[in-house]
């Protein structure tokens, strides 16, 4: 198999530019957490190039051309991408390829993940696949790139050589990446572009303009203090005979203003199905079901080993190490570094340490029952609480008739209590006249009886009633949690903040299934991501009290529900139901771990709000 022509690699102290008078296709890329360069789309690259022509020291607001990239800004001077809502910063680079390659023709190769979505390959892999496709090879072995995959062009599929699993493949025609011809500048002292038009007044551009002066100060400060850069890496040697090697490209990733620690040893090949970041949202949440083509292979993990380490004596600011209990928004971590540098104070923005989600391994003989809590497991199957036969009977059970109601609003229909219910003509129930008004027994709030009947009929219809004003619960409230299993036991490890106390581990496991009549979309399949889920409590008096009430909440189907995930945006999936759990065992980097002195009191209050308390449980 013939080898494609060699490119040119020319690192420059600034933006990358092609050799003089040579046309090259420009592809902007960002570095993900697996040390792989992921390309922006052609549309985004055109936008970045347009901004670059006007102001080579400016900033690029990616949300102006791609709604999925609204939080992201690229600082062209530091060559970093900044995410405003989390403070995450990632290096970017301006990469060059031959105009006859895949990006120059607008050709994109993609593979299908487990969710049915299409994910673009890294640009070097895309070019390699396209070269083999154009030469009409029946198949392509990606082992020369560090991946154990075979590409079959006849069936348009990708096969894992170890597991034999196949995924669909497709070749898509898109917008061609921008073409540029230019010379290599001698320095990074770019003239600021003088635009004759008015600046954009959107919120993102206002943020960029307000922080640009501080960003420029970073470069000058770090340029004075930074140690000499290591020599540029040499192009990799050719692959083994008979394989199709990737075409090296002319690349510059920009000087790292905030140096990260040197990369560790090369990672082993990732097992299939592990979730890398989505290429459509740099630095965003992982997408389930993706394979390992966006992770470093055995030959690919040293791409950042030449990055400088943090100078001694310079404080490190972990940009994602702010838990939910702090008063500062995580995005301000990045801005803090900018302001410190602008004031002449050296600081390094580094990756935060990874959370410790699980305890050390525990043998079965060390797992013990929780004292004072019978059993080690609870299962829920179908809805087990009896429903009332008649909504009017439920409402009348908890209300007292009011003969002379006050001239106030009914907070359900917003009509006056002295007039008929707003549901008159909408609901017709024998024996419930629209002008009837009742008072709830304990809290004393008054409503039209017909309004409460409508509210009850639109809910879970489990024989309980909840006051819409003060949330007081009448009867035994149950939820819509799908069938599953809850296990709980003691493990011989301590949580942070509870050094002399063993730990209660709770394991929730809910399988995927079909939604029932009480769910948002009856008859439709629901997903259950992240199960089994492990949660932790200290084994003290209050921790055991919380466990007993959580067991009651589980049996009433109140722990989980089916809805839309706040994390991934996925609908028709199992989500938490307003009772917070601690899922981080050995740290509190995400806000879902320990130490947290107020957690046990807070979760007791949340359980009480769901009608679960010791007084009710004993009654």
Q: How far apart are CA 268 and CA 275, in angstroms?
A: 15
Quote the CA–CA distance of 171 and 176 in Å, as a whole number. 14
Name the segment(s) of the chain with CATH classification 3.30.390.130: 484-610
* 100 Cβ contact list (under 8 Å, min separation 6): none
CATH superfamily of 391-470: Zinc/RING finger domain, C3HC4 (zinc finger) (3.30.40.10)
- For 200, residues 6+ apart whose C-beta sits below 8 A from its C-beta are 61, 64
Domain with CATH 3.30.40.10 in the chain: 391-470
> Where exactly does CATH 3.30.720.50 map onto the chain?
24-179
Q: 225-283: per-residue pLDDT in tens?
A: 555 544 444 444 433 333 343 333 444 443 333 333 333 333 333 333 333 444 444 55
Torsion of CA 560, 566, 568, 573, to 10 degrees: 30
In contact, 258 and 89? CB cutoff 8 Å: yes
* Fold entry, domain 484-610: Enolase-like; domain 1 (3.30.390)
The stretch 141-158 carries a mean pLDDT of: 89
Rounded Cα–Cα distance for residues 283 and 281 (Å): 6
Cβ-based neighbour number of residue 268 at 10 Å: 10
The confidence score (pLDDT) of residue 439 equals 93
How does residue 304 score in pLDDT terms, banded at 50, 70 and 90?
very low
Average pLDDT of the chain, as a whole number: 75
**Higher-confidence residue: 388 or 159?**
159
Per-residue pLDDT tens digits for 497-533? 999 999 999 999 999 999 998 898 999 999 999 999 9
Q: Summarize pLDDT for 99-116 with one digit per residue, the tens.
A: 999 999 999 999 998 888
Please, are residues 30 and 37 in contact by the beta-carbon 8 Å criterion?
Answer: yes
Under a CB-based contact definition with an 8 Å cutoff, are residues 88 and 320 in contact? yes
Residue 336 tokens, joined: 């803090």
Contact 602, 549 (CB under 8 A): no
Residue 96 phi/psi, 5° resolution?
A: -125, 140
pLDDT tier, 55 (very low <50, low <70, confident <90, very high otherwise): confident
Is a pLDDT exceeding 70 seen at residue 160?
Answer: yes
In this prediction, what percent of the chain has a pLDDT beyond 90?
Answer: 39
- 543 band by pLDDT with thresholds 50, 70 and 90: very high
Query: According to DSSP H, which parts of 109-202 are helical?
Result: 123-134
CA distance linking residue 231 with residue 221, whole number of Å? 22
In contact, 121 and 132? CB cutoff 8 Å: no
- Is the pLDDT assigned to residue 313 strictly greater than 90? no
Predicted confidence (pLDDT) at residue 588 exceeds the cutoff of 80: yes
CATH class of 24-179: alpha beta
């Amino acid at each position: 198999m013939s080898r494609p022509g060699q490119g040119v690699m020319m690192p420059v102290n600034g933006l990358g530019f092609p050799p003089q008078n040579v046309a090259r296709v420009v592809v902007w890329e960002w570095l993900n957490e697996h040390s792989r360069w992921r390309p922006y789309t052609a549309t985004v690259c055109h936008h970045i190039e347009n901004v670059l022509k006007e102001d080579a020291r400016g900033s690029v607001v990616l949300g102006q051309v791609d709604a999925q990239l609204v939080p992201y800004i690229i600082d062209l001077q530091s060559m970093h991408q900044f995410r405003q809502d989390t403070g995450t910063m990632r290096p970017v680079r301006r990469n060059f390829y031959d105009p006859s390659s895949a990006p120059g023709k607008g050709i994109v190769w993609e593979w299908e993940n487990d969710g049915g979505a299409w994910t673009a390959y890294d640009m070097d892999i895309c070019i390699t696949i396209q070269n083999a496709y154009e030469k009409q090879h029946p198949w392509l072995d990606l082992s020369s790139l560090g991946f154990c995959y075979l590409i079959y062009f006849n069936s348009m599929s990708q096969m894992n050589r170890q597991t034999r699993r196949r995924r669909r493949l497709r070749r898509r025609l898109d917008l061609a990446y921008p073409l540029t011809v230019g010379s290599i500048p001698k320095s990074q002292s770019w003239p600021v572009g003088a635009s004759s038009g008015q600046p954009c007044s959107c919120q993102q551009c206002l943020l960029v303009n307000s922080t640009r002066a501080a960003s420029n100060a970073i470069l000058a400060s770090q340029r004075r203090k930074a140690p000499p850069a290591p020599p540029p890496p040499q192009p990799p040697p050719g692959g083994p005979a008979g394989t199709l090697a990737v075409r090296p490209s002319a690349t510059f990733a920009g000087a790292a203003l905030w140096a990260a620690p040197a990369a560790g040893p090369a990672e082993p090949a990732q097992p299939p199905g592990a979730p890398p970041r989505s290429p459509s949202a740099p630095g965003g949440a992982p997408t389930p079901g993706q394979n390992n083509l966006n992770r470093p292979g055995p030959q690919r993990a040293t791409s950042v080993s030449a990055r400088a380490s943090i100078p001694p004596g310079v404080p490190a600011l972990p940009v994602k190490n702010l838990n939910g209990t702090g008063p500062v928004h995580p995005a301000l971590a990045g801005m803090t570094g900018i302001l410190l540098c602008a004031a002449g104070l050296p600081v390094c923005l580094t990756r935060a340490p990874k959370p410790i989600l699980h305890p050390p391994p525990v043998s079965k003989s060390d797992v013990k029952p929780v004292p004072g809590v019978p059993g080690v497991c609870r299962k829920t199957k179908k809805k087990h609480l009896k429903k009332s036969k008649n909504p009017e009977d439920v409402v009348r059970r908890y209300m007292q008739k009011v003969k002379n109601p006050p001239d106030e609003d009914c907070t359900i229909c917003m009509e006056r209590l002295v007039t008929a219910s707003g549901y008159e003509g909408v609901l017709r129930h024998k024996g419930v006249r629209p002008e009837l008004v009742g008072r709830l027994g304990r809290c004393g709030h008054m409503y039209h009886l017909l309004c409460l009947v409508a509210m009850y009929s639109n809910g879970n219809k489990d024989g309980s009633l909840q006051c819409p004003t003060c949330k007081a619960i009448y009867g035994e409230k149950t939820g819509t949690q799908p069938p599953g299993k809850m296990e709980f036991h003691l493990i011989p490890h301590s949580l942070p903040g509870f050094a002399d106390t063993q730990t209660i581990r709770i394991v929730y496991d809910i399988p995927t299934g079909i939604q029932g009549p009480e769910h948002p979309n009856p008859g439709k399949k629901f997903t259950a991501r992240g199960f089994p889920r492990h949660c932790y409590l200290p084994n003290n008096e209050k921790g055991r009290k919380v466990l007993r009430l959580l067991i009651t909440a589980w049996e009433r189907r109140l722990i989980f529900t089916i809805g839309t995930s706040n994390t991934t945006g996925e609908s028709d999936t199992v989500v938490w139901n307003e009772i917070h759990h601690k899922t981080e065992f050995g740290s509190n980097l995400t806000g879902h771990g320990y130490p947290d002195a107020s957690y046990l009191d807070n979760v007791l209050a949340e359980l009480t709000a769901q009608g679960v308390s010791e007084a009710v449980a004993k009654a």
